[in-house]
Amino acid sequence: MGGAVVMLATDNGWVRKGQVRDPARPPADTDPEVTLESGALDEALRALGHLDRRAILRVYLTEEQAAGDLAALSDLSLATVSEHLKVLRKSGLLRLDRRGRFWMYRTDAALLDAVTCAFQKLGDP
């Protein structure tokens, strides 16, 4: 393999091929406060892979708004905004709440923090 390190996903986190992880030791990629399943992290990272979706999350971090309000603030069509909101809702990064006659979106700050923490730990030894 020319010196490449092969990493394998296990129930106890990532390990080098041939290495055995001590099951009594918590995996390096978990946080005692919030643990993300691999699928949830993958979904959130996919959703964050688009510039417009990251911008939408920043808007909804400061205040909840209706989808039409967001479309009016940006140069995106309502259909485009709606598609981005759907992806963000599916990933769990956006929440939808009813406020009277209106449906209001807001960022799930706890999940965004957990994703950020998990992403930062990628560089930890």
pLDDT digits (tens, 9 = 90+) for 78-118: 899 999 999 999 999 999 999 899 889 999 988 888 888 88
Output the pTM of the full model: 0.66
Q: Domain boundaries in the chain?
A: 31-123
Please tell me the distance from the alpha carbon of residue 3 to that of residue 13, in angstroms, as a whole number: 22
CATH no., domain 31-123: 1.10.10.10
**Residue-wise pLDDT tens digits, 7-52:** 444 444 444 444 444 445 444 444 434 456 778 888 999 999 999 9
The CB density around residue 25, as the number of other CB atoms within 10 Å, is 9
